[in-house]
A = this chain, B = another copy of it.
């Protein structure tokens, strides 16, 4: 199966969770909007495709299927890409963990856009400062502490005892947060030894390392989900 990934071409964004899975598995795929421009996304959103109507990118075309929502795409890709264990209970757990990553990613997005994603950051900067403080002080310790406990309960090396797409997504989450909040993450990571070690191991997987060193890995930037605004980080 040759997959087609549709996602905005200028950012890592939510598409990156899918890209990491495809790259790590060595799957054949085309990153369509990077080849053809973002306009290639629009016919799907406008309903030109007979099947499922995606609400937003990323979505994946797999043969005639169109599948949207990051966690669902990973749930779909897990078995053919060997990125999820066999048992039903672990597959359910993988998806639950991925949905919890989805939740924290949305909260990270909203920390720089707490009023409206349609407004500029500069037009909601005061609100962003309040929300980012809550994220750094309450929500991130809660979410990341949760994932640390999940690792601890499962032997320490993987979210699910075996390697899975959840490990890849946890790597991406930690990488993004290192970019967004370098000071706060230095503080928080003291309590997250397993997550830190997992991220390092994932980054060293041969295909992941090759991908991260390639031009296909865009740099984080201030159009994506993970944005660095120094005034939103811990005070110096």
Chain A residues within CB distance 8 Å of chain B: 47, 51-55, 64-65, 67-69, 71-72, 76, 89, 92-93, 95-96, 99-100, 103, 106, 110, 114-116, 118-119, 124, 127, 130-131, 134, 138, 143, 146, 149-150, 153
Contact = CB atoms under 8 A, between A and B. Distances in A.
A96 B53 CA distance: 9
Contact of A153 (B47, B93, B99, B119): B47
A92 B110 contact: no
B89 A146 contact: no
A96 B76 CA distance: 11
Q: Which 7 A-B pairs have the closest CB atoms?
A: A116-B134, A69-B99, A52-B93, A115-B130, A55-B100, A114-B114, A127-B127
Interface of A is mostly: helix
A153 B53 contact: yes
A54 B96 contact: yes
Given A65-B89, A69-B99, 10 more contacts: A53-B149, A55-B96, A64-B89, A65-B92, A67-B96, A68-B96, A69-B96, A114-B115, A116-B130, A124-B130
Contacts of A124: 130
Nearest to A71: B99
Contact of A89 (B51, B143, B149): B51
A103 to B, nearest CB: 8
Contacts of A69: 95-96, 99-100
Contacts of A146: 53, 55
Contacts of A118: 134, 138
B114 A92 contact: no
A200 B146 CA distance: 40
A15 to B, nearest CB: 16
